[in-house]
Amino acid sequence: MPSPADDLDLSLDLIARAHSVPVPDDENALRLMTDEELRPGLEQIIADRQGGDDLWVFAYGSLMWRPEFAYAESRLGTVRGFHRRFCLLQRRFRGTPDRPGFVLALDRGGICRGVAFRLTGTDLHETLMPVWRREMRGMGYVARWLPVATESGTVSALTFLVNRASDRYSGRLSDVEIADKIAAACGHIGPSAEYLFRTVRACAELGIRDRHLWSLQKLVAERLRDCLPDEVVRSRSA
């Protein structure tokens, strides 16, 4: 199977041309939890933590290419019992209520390769709050400490799984159904397809092969090209 790093079908240029009209932010599209609302859950996950002194977070989606936290080390790692899938609807940020996009989550079954980050900082609350706020405020995930197998040994890492009780959980749609939504969706921070593109590129650079992502990037590229005027498509292929 060819690497998507060599597949130019899905590109930032194609995405930008297909989604050239800015989308305003709709704060009512998704309620975000406040830090006060988030704090009890953070305190509980810290209380549930076992193992050594090192603090790890497992990344499998946007955290791989935009971690937004300080870390001292990163390792490729594998989580068993869960797989990476676009199964969490996004009605804000990279989608709208009328045209929701998708973000990745871990769902039951299979395995997932990603990146384990060892965070810096001695205050657990202060260190974890930025990533906790980012992942948990939209109520689409549940957090667990999971064993992550790496070449240097197994570590216990904070991992964000899909919240199956959330109304954002889509269930198991086909790649074609998911691609239709990703291609059409754009929010105030950008298109849903850009999230897919950056995750595909990050996986390719790390040597992570994921059939679900490989399939989607081809399907989404086809749909984005179909949205462009014929003369634009011809100019790109000339």
Give the global pTM: 0.92
64-88: per-residue pLDDT in tens? Answer: 999 988 999 999 999 999 999 999 9
Residues in Cβ contact with 207 at an 8 Å cutoff, skipping those fewer than 6 apart: 76
What radius of gyration do the chain's Cα atoms show? 18
Catalytic: which of 135, 177, 222, 231? 135
141-155: per-residue pLDDT in tens? Answer: 999 999 999 999 999
**Where does 4-227 sit in CATH, by number?**
3.10.490.10
pLDDT of residue 174 exceeding 70: yes
What does the alpha-carbon distance between residue 134 and residue 137 come to, in Å, rounded to a whole number? 6
Is 126 labeled as catalytic in the residue annotation? no
pLDDT of residue 1 exceeding 50: no
